[in-house]
Structure 1
Amino acid sequence: MRIAIVVNKFPVLTETFIVNQITSLIDGGHDVTILSLTKGETENCHEAIRQYHLLDKVHYLIKEPKRKITRFTFFIKYLLKNSKRYKVSKVIKALNIFRYKTQAVSLHTFYRNQWFLGEDFDVIHAHFASVGVFVTGLRKDGFFPKSKLAVSFHGSDIIPQNIERYKQNYKLLFEKMNLITYNSEYTLAVLEKTTTIDSRFKLLPVGLDVNKFKTAETIVRKEPFEILFCGRLVNFKAPDLAVEIVNELVKKGHNIHLSIVGEGPLQKKLKDLIHNYGLEQNISLLGAISQEQIVAHLRKTAVFLLPGITEEETKRAENQGLVIQEAQAMQVPVVVSDAGGMKYGLVDNVTGFVVKEKDIHSFVKKLETLIQNEPLRMEMGKKGRAFVAEHFDSKVLYHKLLRYYNLLLDENFTH
C-alpha cells in the first residue's frame, strides 16, 4: 500500500506517536512517504528516525517564491531535476489555465500540489485538522481523486472554546475525509459538538512500542521516593498543582523527589513556587528531553503524576496523554485527574488512580497509599504494562489502522 503521512512539521520531539505509526507501517511492508509543510529539528530527534532513515523519506513543501522571475526559473529547474517523480499529465493539469485561470498562470497550483504530481497514493493520512484542511482544499481543486483521505484529531485541533469557529473552518474537512480518527472518548465528545458523527469516525489512540519501554528485571528503588511529571508546562496539564501536591507531602514528612520534564510558559511560575516553598532539594526542572531520556527517568520512578485540569477560559483538557501509557509500560503506577480523556488510558484502582481534578487532598492520599505500600505499587505496575500491551502497543494499533485503511480501499465502501 502506498501511504502518504502528511504533517505540519517533521520531526517534532514531542510527537513520538507519529513516528510510532510510521515505523509500524514500514514494518508492515508498506511504502510510506512523509510530506511535511515545514522542517523540524533534525539534530535532537528520536532514535527511530535514524534507525528507519525517516529523514530520507521526507519531502518538505517548497514555498512559492514571491518574485515572478524566481518562481518560473525555479519551476523549470525543479522539473528538470525531479523529472522521474512527476507525471506529465498531472503537471499539465496543474497548469490548466481554463480551470485554474490566474492560479495556473502564476504557478500557484503547481506549488500547492507539488507533492501529488507523481504516482497516486492509496491513502493520504493527515495528522491534525489544520493539515487535513490543507489536504481537503487540494482535493476540492480536483487533485488525487482516487486517493482515500484520512485525518487524525489529537487535541490541540479540537479545543472546546473554538467549536463555533471549527464548524466553519472544518466544514470541507468533514465533507471530504473518508476516515476521521480520534484518540479518546473525550475527543469524540468535543467532535460531537462540532459536526454530525457517522461511520467514518473511528477510535484510534496514539500508541507506543511496548518493547522499547522495558524496565529492569529487578526493580530496586531507594529513597527519596521518586515521582515524575512529564508534559508541556501549560495550564491544562497543571504542573503547578504537582508542585502543590509535593509541598503537602513534604510537609507531612515524606522523603520524596519530583522530576518535572517539559518546557513551556509556566516555567517561571514553577521556579518561583519551588523557591517560595523551599523545595529546591525536592523538585527538579529538567526541561525538554528525548524519548530515550524519558525512559531512563521512568526506570527510577516510583509513581507518575499528571494532575491536569479543565482550563477555565478555553475549556481545554488533556485528550489522551500518551506519557500515561508510557509510564504504565514501564510498570510505573499512574495518578491522574479525571479531567479530559486521561481516565480512559488506565484502569482506575488497578493500574493507577483517577482523582477528582484540583483535589489536592485526594492526590496526596493516593500518593501516600503508594508510598507506603510497595507490594501494591508492584502489582499495579505489572497490570499496567499488561493493559498497555493489550490496548496501546503500536502493533495492536497498526492492525486496527490497517483494518480502517482496507475498509477505505474496499470498492463497496460508500464514503
Structure 2
Amino acid sequence: MKKNKILFVVTSFPTLSETFIVNQIVSLINKGCEVSILCTGHVLRNGVIHPVVIQNSLMDLVREDIAMPINKLERVWKGILNIMRYYKDVAFLLSSFNIFKYGVASINLRQLYNHLLLLCIKESDCDVMHVHFGDNAVLVNDLLCEYDIDKKMVVTFHGYDAHDFSSEFYRKLKQSRAYYTSNTNFTKNELMRLGFDTSLISVLPVGLDTSFFSPQKKTIDLSRDVKIVFVGRLVKWKGCLFFIELINEIIAKGSGDVEAVIIGDGVEYSKCVDLISKLNLGDKVVLKGSLLQDEIIKELDSADIFLYPGGVDESGRCENQGLVIQEAQSMGLPVIVSNIGGMPESINHGVTGFVIDYNDKSSFVETTIKLIKSPELRKQIGKCARNFVIENYDNKVLADEILDIYAK
C-alpha cells in the first residue's frame, strides 16, 4: 500500500507553544505517512524540547541544512555553504541578492533562505504540502507562483493569521488551488470575512494525545481546599486578570476554602502580581510561571475545576480554540469558559462544563461556587468531559479527518 508523503511547512521547529503541530505530525506518522519538515524561520535546538519530539525522533525529519540561523555570522557562513552545495542552481540563488526586487530581504539573506526553501519544495515528491499559519502560506504561494511550480497545498489557520492580516494580504493565496482548514467555526467565519471560498474550508480542531493527558487521581479528597486552575499565556485576552478578580469574588461570597493556581507567563505577569497583592490574595492565588507539559499535567491532575474566562483585547483578538480547554477536559476536569471566540465550541455546555457570558461576572462566580460545593457534580461532569475529548479531539480521530482532507 502506497504511503502518503506529507511535507510540513512551519515557522520554527520545535516550538513548545505549538505542540498541536507536533501532535498532528506524530498522529500522521502513526497512520503510516512519510513526513518531512521545512521551516520558513529557524530550527530551535537550544532550550527546552518537547519530550514527544525526542521520543519520535522528529528532528531527523527537519531539513535543518536550509533553515535560516538566528546568528548573523552563522547565517552568512551557512548561506555560502548552501550556494556551493546547490551549485547547479547558483544563478537562481544569486538572484536572491537583487536589492531592487527584494529590498532588505536581499541584504539580511532572508530571500536567499526563501530561495533555498523553494528548491526543497521543488525537489520534494510529496503528495501534499501542509502549511501551518496563513502568513507562511502567503510566502510559499508567492514563491510557487513566481517560478510556476505546482504543488497540492493544504493551509491551516490557527488564530492570529485570520485576525492580524487584511483581505488584500491574502489576495494571491485566495486565487491559488489551496485547500484550507480552520480550528473552529469561529476561525472559519474570520476566513470567510477575508474573502476565502467557504467551500474550500474544513473545520479541523487541533488535538491532543488523550492517553498522555489522562487523570491519575482515584478519589476526591474532601479534607483539602478546592483547587481552581488557569493555564495560558498571560495576555489580556486570555483573561488572567479577570480570573484573579473572580477568585476574589468567590472568596468574598463565603467560599474561602479554595486554592487558585495560574500557570503561564507573559506581558500581564507583573499586573497579576500587583492585583494579587492589592486584593490580599497572596495566600490563595499562586503564580507558577511557565511549566513543562508534564508539570502542567500534574497540576491539572491535582485540580478540581478549570476556569478560563477569556475575553477580547483592544484589537479584537480573542481565543480561537484554546487547546488547553480540551487538555483540561481530557484530565477529567469540569471547565468554565467565556462565550468569546471559538471557546464555546470547545465544550458541551451543561455536560462537560459551562459557557458563561463574559460580561456576567456574577454567573461566573455562582457557577464556580456551585462546583466547589458539589464534589459529585464535579466528578460527573469531569467524566463526561474526558469522554467528549476522546471522541472529538483525540489525535487518532483527527488524523483520519486530515487524511480525508488530503484525499480531496
Matched with 1:19 is 22
Code of the residue aligned with 2:22 in structure 1: it is V
Q: Is the 8 A contact 1:232 1:262 kept in 2?
A: yes
Question: For residue 266 of structure 1, what is the amino acid of its counterpart?
Answer: E
Please give the alpha-carbon distance, in whole angstroms, between the structure 2 residues aligned to 1:187 and 1:72: 38
User: What does the per-residue CA deviation read over 1:180-199, in whole Å, with 9 as the maximum and x for residues that have no partner?
Assistant: 00011111121121114332
Q: Does 1:74 align with 2:74?
A: no
Contact 1:328–1:385 at 8 Å: present in 2 too? yes
Quick one: distance in 2 between partners of 1:20 and 1:193? 29
> How far does the alpha carbon of each residue in 1:187-221 deviate from its partner, in whole angstroms, 9 at most, with x for none?
11211211143321101000001111111261334
- Going from structure 1 to structure 2, the CA distance change for 1:110 and 1:349 (only over 3 Å counts) comes to closer
Whole-Å Cα distance in 2 between the matches of residues 388 and 62 of structure 1? 36
Find the residue that maps to 2:17 and give its secondary structure. Answer: coil
Sequence identity percentage: 34
CA-CA distance at 1:390 after TM superposition: 0.8
Aligned position for 1:133: 138
The Cα offsets for residues 238-262 of structure 1, whole Å up to 9 and x where unpaired, read as 1000000001112223211111111
Q: 278, 287, 290: which one pairs with 2:289?
A: 287
Map of 1:85 onto structure 2: none
Deviations 1:269-319 (A, max 9, x none): 1000000111111111111111111111110010001001122x2112110
- SS, match of residue 166 in structure 2: helix
Quote the residue 2:188 is aligned against. Answer: 188
- For the pair 1:154 / 2:158, whether they are aligned, the reply is yes
CA RMSD of aligned residues (A): 2.7
> What is the SS of the residue equivalent to 1:286?
strand
Residues 247-258 of structure 1 mapped to structure 2, 5 A cutoff = 247-254=248-255, 255-258=257-260
SS in 1 for 2:227: strand
Letter of the 2:377 counterpart: L
Query: Separation in 1 of the partners of 2:365 and 2:78?
Result: 62
Give the residue type in structure 2 aligned to 1:274: I
**TM-score of the two chains, using structure 1 as the length reference:** 0.87
Q: Distance in 1 between matches of 2:20 and 2:80?
A: 39
Unmatched tracts of structure 2, length 5 or more: none
What is the CA distance between 1:102 and its match in structure 2?
A: 9.3
How far apart are the structure 1 equivalents of 2:282 and 2:45? 31
- Give how far 1:45 is off: 2.0
Q: 1:343 to 1:47 in 2, by over 3 A?
A: same
Answer yes or no: is 1:45 the counterpart of 2:49.
yes
Q: How does 1:288-307 map to 2 (within 5 A)?
A: 288-307=290-309
1:102 & 1:363 partners in 2: Cα distance?
A: 57
Q: Is the 8 A contact 2:83 2:93 kept in 1?
A: no
Task: Determine the structure 1 residue equivalent to 2:272.
Answer: 270
- 8 Å CA contact 2:183–2:320 kept in 1: the answer is yes
Matched position secondary structure for 1:294:
helix
Q: Distance in 2 between matches of 1:329 and 1:189?
A: 27
- Paired amino acid for 1:78: R
Q: Across the two proteins, how many residue pairs are aligned to each other?
A: 388
Which residue of 2 is the match for residue 197 of structure 1? 197
Match of 1:400 in 2: 401
2:33 aligns to what? 30
Matches of 1:247 and 1:130 in 2, distance apart? 41
In structure 2, the partner of 1:233 is: 234
5 Å-filtered alignment, 1:303-342, equals 303-311=305-313, 313-342=314-343
Distance (whole Å) between structure 2 residues aligned to residue 215 and residue 182 of structure 1: 29
**Matched position secondary structure for 1:278:** coil
Helix, strand or coil: the match of 2:161? coil
Q: Label 1:324 to 1:72 Cα distance change in 2 as closer, same or farther (>3 A).
A: closer
> In the aligned structure 1, how far is the partner of 2:78 from the partner of 2:352?
57
Question: Is the contact between residue 213 and residue 326 of structure 1 (CA under 8 Å) also seen in structure 2?
Answer: yes
TM-score (ref. length: structure 2): 0.88
Supply the distance in 2 between the matched residues of 1:101 and 1:122 (Cα, whole angstroms).
35
Residue type at the aligned position of 1:169: F
Residues 150 and 177 in structure 1, CA contact (< 8 A), matched pair in contact too: no
Residues 136 and 177 in structure 1, CA contact (< 8 A), matched pair in contact too: no
Secondary structure of the residue aligned to 1:15 is: helix
Unpaired stretches in structure 1, ≥5 consecutive residues:
81-87, 408-415
Amino acid in structure 1 at the alignment position of 2:321: Q
Matched residue SS, 2:261? strand
Q: Does the C-alpha gap of structure 1 residues 72 and 350 become closer, same or farther in structure 2, counting only changes over 3 Å?
A: closer
Contact 1:307 1:358 in 2 (8 A): no
SS at match of 1:207: coil
- Letter of the 2:379 partner, please give it: M
**How far apart are 1:131 and its partner, in Å?**
0.9
Question: Within 1, Cα distance between the matches of 2:296 and 2:282?
Answer: 21
- Partners of 1:246 and 1:110 in 2: CA distance: 52
Partner in structure 2 of residue 366 of structure 1: 367
| AA of the residue aligned to 1:56 | D
